[in-house]
Amino acid sequence: MVALARKTLVYEWRRFLPAILAVGFAGLLQLLQLALVLGIFGSTSLYITGSSADVWIGYPGTQSVGQGRSIDGDVESRILMDPAVQRVEPYIWVDGDWRGTTETGGVSVFVSGIDPRADGLMFSKALPPDLRARLAQPDAVVVDRSDLDQLGVGIGQTATINGHEVRVVGISSGLRALGGVNVLCSLDTARRLDSDAEDIGPTYLVAKLRDPTQADAVAIRLRGDTAFGPYTTWSAHHFARLSVRYWMFDTGAGAGVLFLAGIVFLVGAVITSQTLIAAVNGSVREYATLNALGVGVGALRRVVLEQAFWVGALGLLGASVLGVVLLLLARSQNVPVVLTLPAALGCIVLVMGLAAVSGLAAMRSLRAADPATLLR
């Protein structure tokens, strides 16, 4: 079989280049946007995904991790009564006002008071063991490398949070927060930093189960008891999703992603279809001749669709290469980007869908390939 579609694409590559670029940039734009949004909003659930707790216990109605209110510390004993629960530890969230040694003004920080023991659940995946151990020192804090400039401190230096002095004992990475700066310290330090007299207990209790796969069932089972004051429970997975979703919709970012996807699709499809239409028009007499010789319209349509497919595939290839380079570059600059498999598949579907729609639009111009018009 003579590969008419491919040979034409190669020989007349200049003609098809705008379409390939349009498809490629559409894909790239969508990919980077998704990676950025996932990266940025993924950080809102860092507290959960970076820890090894299976069930979270917090104030009812909490919409994201950063919005918890304190619960009664006695809830811990209720949770421990459940045979599925192996361990429980408190987690204290304090909103703080940071003043560094240099002129930084007030910086809003999210203080996470955690159990600094080596087998502590909170931030077990995000915080290296040696840094965790250092938190046991009084008034010791760990901050993220990318926040140092903003905080105006270096390692070993002191600053104040809510008027209390703290000392930076370690610098970690991957702790960036959205809308503020994460500061990690021990539970004791956190209690000292908390200036709110109403906070009587921890913000959350986090539990480790004997069988982590039971998280959803246990979370449901532990709910609804009010003997120790108001609290509710979530599985870690559920709470992480709740946090990300809250940010996505509260900030309108989710709508933004969809809106941009629509725009990208539309602009990409317009450019690509126009290019493909021009390519069909450029060969319309040849197509008409093939039809005169008895090659069916269906076969000619397949040629156009195949061209659209290759335009999509080449655009996708270019977008993937450039996308990987840019994502690596972003990572190296501490820009939070995350690319998940469903997101990548979504981009592929968008790009190939765009190419397919353009191909279908271009197929319509084959109507002009009427062999009778060749007889003049």
Partner 1 sequence: MHPANLVTPSTAAAPTIALQAESISKAFVSGKQRTQVLDGLSLHIDSGELTLISGPSGCGKSTLLAVLSGLQKIDGGRVLALGSELGQLDLHALERFRLQHTGFVFQGFNLFPALSAFEQVELPLNHMGLSRQEARERARSSLEEVGLSHRMKLRPSELSGGEKQRVAIARALAKEPELLFADEPTSALDAANGQMIIDILHRIARTHGTTVLCVSHDPRLVVHADRVLAMEDGRILSDQRNHAPISASKGISS
**Residue 45 structure tokens:** 């659930």
| Residues 6+ away with beta carbon under 8 Å from 312 | 23, 351, 352, 354, 355, 356
Residues in binding contact with partner 1, number by CB under 8 A = 27
Is 171 an interacting residue with respect to partner 1 (CB under 8 A)? no
Stretch that binds partner 1, among 27-35, 147-155, 284-292, 318-326 (CB under 8 A): 284-292
Is 281 an interacting residue with respect to partner 1 (CB under 8 A)? no
Residue of the chain from 198, 226, 294, 341 that contacts partner 1 (CB under 8 A): 294
Stretch that binds partner 1, among 205-213, 237-245, 285-293, 319-327 (CB under 8 A): 285-293
For partner 1, the closer of residues 70 and 283 by Cβ is 283
Is 368 an interacting residue with respect to partner 1 (CB under 8 A)? no
Q: Please report, as residue ranges, which positions from 295 to 354 form the binding site for partner 1 (by CB under 8 A).
A: 295-297, 299
**CB 277 to partner 1: min, Å:** 18
Q: CB of 109 within 8 A of CB of 97? A: yes
To 10 degrees, the CA torsion angle through 180, 185, 187, 193?
A: -60
**Residue 326 structure tokens:** 């840019």
Stretch that binds partner 1, among 19-27, 179-187, 226-234, 292-300 (CB under 8 A): 292-300
For partner 1, the closer of residues 16 and 98 by Cβ is 16
Q: CB of 205 within 8 A of CB of 88? A: yes
Residue 58 identity: G
Is 214 an interacting residue with respect to partner 1 (CB under 8 A)? no
| Distance between CA atoms of residues 340 and 328, nearest Å | 14
| Distance between CA atoms of residues 135 and 187, nearest Å | 9
Is 14 an interacting residue with respect to partner 1 (CB under 8 A)? no
Distance of CA 270 to CAs 36, 128, 237, 361, Å? 26, 50, 41, 9
Residue of the chain from 133, 136, 292, 357 that contacts partner 1 (CB under 8 A): 292
Residue of the chain from 103, 105, 198, 293 that contacts partner 1 (CB under 8 A): 293
Q: Please report, as residue ranges, which positions from 44 to 103 form the binding site for partner 1 (by CB under 8 A).
A: none
Is 2 an interacting residue with respect to partner 1 (CB under 8 A)? yes
| Residues 6+ away with beta carbon under 8 Å from 25 | 268, 319
Stretch that binds partner 1, among 83-91, 92-100, 125-133, 278-286 (CB under 8 A): 278-286
For partner 1, the closer of residues 185 and 369 by Cβ is 369
Residue 176 identity: R
| Residues 6+ away with beta carbon under 8 Å from 151 | 98, 100, 104, 107, 109, 143, 159, 181
**Residue 348 structure tokens:** 């592929």
For partner 1, the closer of residues 151 and 303 by Cβ is 303
β-pairing verdict for 140-144 and 164-172: parallel
Is 286 an interacting residue with respect to partner 1 (CB under 8 A)? yes
Residues of the shown chain interacting with partner 1 in the complex, contacts defined by CB under 8 A: 1-2, 4, 7-8, 10-12, 283, 285-286, 288-297, 299, 371-372, 374-376
